[in-house]
Amino acid sequence: MTDTTTEPGLSSDVTEVRAQKLAKLRETVAEVYPAHFHRTLTNSELAEKYADIEPDTLTGDIVTVAGRVYSSRNSGMFMDIHDASGKVQIFSHKDTTPEEARALLPLIDLGDIIGVTGEVRRTKRGELTVNAHEITMLTKALLPMPEKWHGLTDIELRYRKRHLDIMTNEDSKLRFQQRSRIVSGIRRFMEDEGFMEIETPMLHSVYGGATAEPFKTHHNTLKLDMYLRIAPELYLKRALVSGLTDKVFEVNRNFRNEGVSTRHNPEFTMLECYWAYADYEDIMGLVERLFERLAMAIHGTTEIMYGEKELSFKGPFKRIAMPDAVKDATGIDFRAMATDEEARSATKGAGFEIEEDWTWGECLAFIFEEKVESTLIQPTHVIDFPKDISPFAKEVPGEPRLVERFETYCNAWELGNAFSELNDPEEQRKRMVEQLEQAHARGESEKQLDDEFLDAIDQGMPPAGGLGIGVDRLIMLLTNAPSIRDVILFPARKARSD
């Protein structure tokens, strides 16, 4: 048995050798790529079942296992094969392995997938092993694996060829297994809290629910321009109006035609939910329970490490109103300002360049982003946002410039956004018209009013708390991933240049 290269770049000689072996296999076995292979145990099940057998023991038990060949020693006498659950050693010897099976060994390369039937034993050195009685070629790999111990060192190549990254990098493999558990855990948590999951459209004729640039497409049959959704909010609220359920949620993709960074990908996963007869206080508790549960599921504790930082996902989280957070950080007291002009003057006085038409709320939010966000390391609910930038939230009683909205921050990242949802149809229409006018002033001529949503609100929506959580960022924290592209299996990337 041979390996062929230790580099991702391949020579024609390497592929030719494998092609020649494939041709030889086609002559000697019935099927090189069989449709089915029955194994009796996965590799992890094998390890668990025989965990207690002593070294230098033959069990007499015959099993059938399968996996990709990761290493070979002594001309194939010893091989390690891996399936998704783990590895097992295969031993082939003239005393235990028939000649027909041993004849395959020179045709097997690292990266090939084989099936093995044989007797379970533990070697003198304590290695759980299957003594091969039969060897079946299941898949002949025509390209070699990257060198096992170094894997893919080129970051962009890891994203482009994720199959090789996972094949050779246990950390990547574990991270995506954990991602699956986290997403499943979110769904189970929401169902345990009494929420019903529904599916809303991915293609919207009118985009809304967030302020973002959409991806545009065209429906040929309907002769209609459409947009990949930037948020499911307005459809989920229509479901709440319908009375289908008092607690509705969706975990799915959103699409925003914007920049790529370590925290942003144009296609991303969101949890969005609406809870009738609740407000943003109730939603804060929901977020805290969710974060605690996920941390416990992945780490067995609410105290997790992200890089060198220890983060506590144990609730209750710190809460601070946005005007108070800005005052604490800068000394600027926005509550004391009566006009937009005062807010602009104070913001300029703090050394910031701003637009001349900015409102009180826009100035407050800008300074918060510039001076406060980076300090929010431990999980924190920043509450009471400016109404100017929050068209779907209810006013804070006694403070008409603020609304019952919070964002949850951790590691200086925004993880979630929640409101006490506005359900006054006249006020909702007024704010959405204002938002539309602002969008048109920015040159977003395709932005339209969602009349179907407004018609639904006119029918009467119960008071409700609403929440959106960026699942990918949350997974980054829970898996200690430095980039969002490390937790998205196939992230957005530039086209190949070769």
Do 122 and 228 share a structural domain? no
Residue 371 lies in a domain: no
CA gap 304, 394 in Å, rounded: 34
Q: Largest alpha-carbon pair distance within the chain? A: 92
CB 322 within 8 Å of CB 417: no
* pTM higher than 0.85: yes
The predicted pLDDT at position 7 comes to 38
Do 108 and 229 share a structural domain? no
Question: Which stretches of the chain score pLDDT less than 70?
Answer: 1-12, 148-152, 445, 497-498
SS3 of residue 461 by DSSP: coil
Give the total residue count for the chain.
Answer: 498
> How far, in whole angstroms, is CA 203 from its chain's centroid?
21
Residue 357 lies in a domain: no
Do 200 and 120 share a structural domain? no
Instruction: Locate 163 and state its tokens.
Output: 């199959």
Do 142 and 184 share a structural domain? no
Residue 498 lies in a domain: no
SS3 of residue 309 by DSSP: strand
**CA dihedral in degrees (247, 253, 256, 258; nearest 10)?**
130
CA gap 356, 61 in Å, rounded: 81
In 151-204, DSSP assigns E strands to 196-197, 203-204
CB 139 within 8 Å of CB 447: no
CB 200 within 8 Å of CB 232: yes
The predicted pLDDT at position 210 comes to 79
SS3 of residue 283 by DSSP: helix
SS3 of residue 248 by DSSP: strand
- Of 244, 247, 231, 1, the C-alpha closest to 103 is 1
- Of 119, 140, 116, the C-alpha closest to 21 is 140
Residue 284 lies in a domain: yes
Identify the bridge partners of residue 73 per DSSP, sorted by sequence position. Answer: 78
CB 284 within 8 Å of CB 469: no
The predicted pLDDT at position 380 comes to 99
Residue with tokens 């050693």: 89
CB-based contacts of 100: which residues, under 8 Å, 6+ apart?
none
Do 190 and 92 share a structural domain? no
Q: Mean pLDDT, the chain, as a whole number? A: 93
Do 396 and 279 share a structural domain? yes
- Of 142, 131, 121, 188, the C-alpha closest to 32 is 142
Phi-psi region for residue 68, left (φ > 0), alpha (ψ -120 to 50) or beta? beta
Residue 364 lies in a domain: no
Do 23 and 95 share a structural domain? yes
CB 448 within 8 Å of CB 432: no
Do 400 and 276 share a structural domain? yes
CATH number for the domain including 468? 3.30.930.10
Residue with tokens 């299957």: 130
Choosing from 149, 179, 196, the residue where a domain stops is 149
Do 476 and 405 share a structural domain? yes
Helices assigned H by DSSP within 314-424: 322-330, 340-349, 360-371
Residue 334 lies in a domain: no
Q: Which domain holds residue 116?
A: 12-149
CB 371 within 8 Å of CB 346: no
Do 176 and 309 share a structural domain? yes
Do 189 and 142 share a structural domain? no
Residue 331 lies in a domain: no
Choosing from 149, 182, 212, the residue where a domain stops is 149
Do 313 and 455 share a structural domain? yes
Specify the long-range contacts of residues 431-438, CB closer than 8 Å, at least 24 apart: 431/391, 431/392, 432/391, 434/391, 435/211, 435/391
* Total domains in the fold of the chain: 2
Specify the long-range contacts of residues 146-154, CB closer than 8 Å, at least 24 apart: 146/6, 146/7, 146/8, 147/5, 147/6, 147/7, 148/70, 148/71, 150/6, 152/8, 154/8
pLDDT tens-digit readout, 390-400: 878 999 999 99
The predicted pLDDT at position 3 comes to 54
In 281-398, DSSP assigns E strands to 303-306, 309-312, 318-321, 380-386, 395-396
The predicted pLDDT at position 454 comes to 94
CATH number for the domain including 88? 2.40.50.140
CB 209 within 8 Å of CB 230: yes
Residue 387 lies in a domain: yes
Choosing from 114, 149, 184, the residue where a domain stops is 149
